[in-house]
């Protein structure tokens, strides 16, 4: 049974891992059977990557974030040779890089000081310079076309507005007031305007946002789109100032690339991909577009009959199955997917029951209740495993116990473990005599292994990561001067 997706969690999902989904643009990345309006070519496949991308003004490089080094760092890839190079090496998260108009520097977001700050990196020397380091979070930096300023979003919770850092003065000014939930920002070529998207319903999770432009020195923002119930986001101005590109769900349940005039006229679709998300589009000087294409991740709660070797799915999700654990009496399972907590009886054919919204569920010792984290700020709550009103504990833990799952059979004679063999992930049972019996093999990792009370079945999670391909159009997306 496939569950309804959550908007914020879907966005987060494509920030967890990156890789390739070329089929929507055809085998070579071209238009045609995909329904794409432009011809584009794949630059890089990246599995286990990051959250963002940006093509350089000359179209020779794409900056992206990747976990190749173990955590999110900024990397670049040459669009012709496809050779990659790591740019940041700090153990904290570095991502959301954007190019200097001459291609000599990058601005990026880092979490090395416990909040999201903006740094600038000189690609010639490797020198890093802090730009915006307020105690609250800053996001989505972008250079002015003359490199005199950087625009970004910043402010405390509920006051996320368009901000501008001026290199000459070293000061930050707030450009908008009253939006509170501003997304990414970008300067017009003449530096007079800033385009941004802002969310409705006082939430980044609403999935409802429009595009606006505002004078760079501050003033009254003007809407470009007037949809309110559609997710339009991440706008970027073309180098000639005639167009703005952005991602939108206006005609499909997934994101596609659109362009529009700064006055809100001449709206048109650039891509018409199906089943994947096209995000973070931005322009080269000669009018080409770069973007990345995200395939959704999937998760499965699976049941294995150890005698027959047959495997059945109890839950299919568009998101990872997380924190799967069996109750102390081995009669029920709890897990989280899509920020929703489910309980299911530990038997074949059982139907998962949604308990409530939350993260990281954990059984209490008697198996009657479940403790969990209420939200991303880690407030604790406890709820009956049969449902009901949760009891909130006013505490935010700095650590949270691991889920109670192990691979030992109820009689303690067999051990089920997941091993890697020649690139495959294999669920294997170690018998009492020490012999090993492989049961399930495949490309996806097997986690959270638990046995049923009678020792006949093994439950485990199997998650396939989201994937991204980085693309660059082969020609300008609009005729020069149009």
285-305, pLDDT tens digit by residue? 999 999 999 877 789 999 999
* Rg (alpha carbons) of the chain, rounded to whole number: 24
pLDDT of residue 187: 98
Among 31, 24, 465, CA closest to 274 = 24
Res 19: pLDDT: 25
**pLDDT value of position 2:** 33
Average pLDDT over residues 81-85: 95
| Domains delineated in the chain | 7-296+467-473 (2.120.10.30), 298-464 (no CATH)
* Residue 100: both structure tokens together: 């200097």
Distance CA 213, CA 300 (A): 43
Distances (CA, A) of 162 to 14, 175, 253, 301, 380: 24, 5, 28, 42, 33
Q: Of 35-44, 273-282, 309-318, 347-356, which range is least confident?
A: 35-44
Measured CA to CA, the distance from residue 149 to residue 201 in angstroms comes to 31
pLDDT bracket for residue 377 (50, 70, 90): low
Phi, psi of 8, deg, nearest 5 = -70, -35
User: Which band of pLDDT confidence, cut at 50, 70 and 90, is reported for residue 81?
Assistant: very high
Predicted confidence band of residue 134 (pLDDT cuts 50, 70, 90): confident
- Mean pLDDT, residues 13-25: 28
pLDDT tier, 3 (very low <50, low <70, confident <90, very high otherwise): very low
Residue 49: the pLDDT is 61
What confidence category does residue 376 fall into, taking pLDDT thresholds of 50, 70 and 90? low
Distant-in-sequence, close-in-space partners of 473: CB < 8 Å, separation ≥ 6? 38, 39, 40, 288, 289, 290
Whether the model clears a pTM of 0.75, i.e. scores above it, the answer is: no
The residues, any chain, with a CB within 8 Å of residue 357's CB and separated by 6 or more, are 339, 340, 341
What would the mean pLDDT of 186-201 be, rounded to a whole number?
96
Better-predicted residue by pLDDT, 244 or 12? 244
Quick: pLDDT tens for 140-182: 999 999 999 999 999 887 789 999 999 999 999 999 998 889 9
In this prediction, residue 36 has a pLDDT band, given cuts at 50, 70 and 90, of: low
| Average confidence (pLDDT) over 392-421 | 84
Indicate the pLDDT class of residue 33, thresholds 50, 70 and 90: very low
Looking at the predicted structure, is the pLDDT value of residue 31 above 50? no
Q: How much is the average pLDDT of 216-229?
A: 94
Is the pLDDT at 398 greater than 80, yes or no?
A: no
Q: What is the dihedral of CA 61, 62, 65, 66, to 10 degrees?
A: -70
Counting other chains too, the contacts that 22-29 makes at CB distance below 8 Å and 24 or more residues apart are 22/293, 22/469, 24/273, 24/274, 24/275, 24/276, 24/293, 25/273, 25/293, 25/471, 29/469, 29/471
Is 220 a residue whose pLDDT tops 60? yes
How many angstroms separate the CA atoms of 97 and 108, rounded? 4
Segment among 15-29, 264-278, 379-393, 423-437 with least mean pLDDT: 15-29
- The answer to which of 86-90, 112-116, 299-303, 332-336 has the lowest mean pLDDT is 112-116
Distance CA 248, CA 255 (A): 5
Give the residue-averaged pLDDT of 70-76.
Answer: 91
Predicted confidence band of residue 378 (pLDDT cuts 50, 70, 90): low
């Amino acid at each position: 049974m496939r569950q309804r997706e959550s908007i914020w969690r879907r966005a987060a999902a494509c920030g967890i891992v990156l890789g390739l989904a070329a089929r929507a643009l055809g085998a070579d990345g071209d238009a045609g059977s995909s329904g794409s309006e432009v011809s584009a070519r794949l630059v890089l496949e990246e599995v286990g990557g990051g959250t963002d991308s940006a093509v350089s003004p000359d179209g020779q490089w794409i900056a992206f974030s990747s976990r190749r080094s173990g955590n999110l760092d900024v990397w670049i890839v040459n669009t012709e040779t496809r050779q990659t190079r790591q740019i940041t090496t700090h153990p904290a998260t570095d991502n959301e890089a954007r190019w200097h108009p001459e291609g000599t520097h990058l601005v990026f977001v880092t979490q090395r000081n416990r909040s999201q700050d903006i740094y600038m990196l000189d690609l010639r020397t490797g020198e890093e310079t802090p730009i915006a380091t307020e105690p609250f979070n800053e996001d989505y930096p972008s250079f002015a076309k003359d490199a005199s300023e950087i625009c970004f979003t910043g402010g405390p919770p509920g006051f996320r507005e368009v901000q501008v850092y001026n290199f000459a003065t070293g000061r930050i000014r707030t450009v908008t007031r009253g939006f509170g939930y501003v997304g990414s920002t970008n300067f017009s070529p003449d530096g007079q305007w800033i385009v941004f998207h802002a969310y409705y319903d006082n939430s980044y999770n609403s999935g409802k946002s429009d595009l606006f432009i505002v004078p760079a020195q501050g003033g009254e923002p003007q809407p470009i789109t007037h949809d309110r119930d559609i997710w339009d986001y991440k706008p970027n101005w073309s180098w000639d100032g005639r167009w703005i590109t952005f991602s939108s769900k206006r005609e499909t349940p997934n994101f596609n690339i659109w362009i529009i005039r700064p006055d809100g006229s001449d709206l048109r679709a650039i891509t018409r991909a199906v089943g994947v998300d096209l995000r973070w589009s931005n322009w080269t000087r000669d009018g080409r577009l770069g973007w990345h294409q995200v395939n959704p991740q999937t998760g499965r709660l699976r049941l294995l009959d150890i005698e027959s070797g047959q495997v059945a799915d109890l839950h299919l999700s568009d998101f990872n199955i997380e924190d799967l654990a069996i109750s102390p009496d081995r009669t029920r399972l709890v897990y989280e997917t899509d920020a929703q907590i489910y309980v299911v009886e530990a038997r074949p054919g059982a139907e998962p029951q949604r308990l409530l919204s939350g993260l990281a569920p954990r059984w209490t010792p008697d198996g009657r209740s479940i403790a969990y984290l209420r939200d991303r700020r880690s407030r604790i709550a406890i709820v009956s495993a049969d449902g009901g009103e949760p009891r909130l504990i006013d505490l935010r833990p700095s650590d949270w116990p691991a889920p109670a799952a192990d691979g030992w059979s109820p009689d303690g004679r067999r051990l089920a473990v997941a091993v890697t063999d020649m690139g495959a992930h294999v669920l294997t049972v170690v018998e009492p005599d020490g012999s090993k019996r492989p049961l399930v093999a495949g490309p996806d990792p097997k986690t959270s292994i638990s046995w049923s009370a009678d020792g006949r079945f093994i439950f485990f999670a199997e998650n396939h990561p989201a994937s991204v391909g980085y693309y660059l159009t082969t020609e300008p997306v609009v005729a020069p001067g149009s």
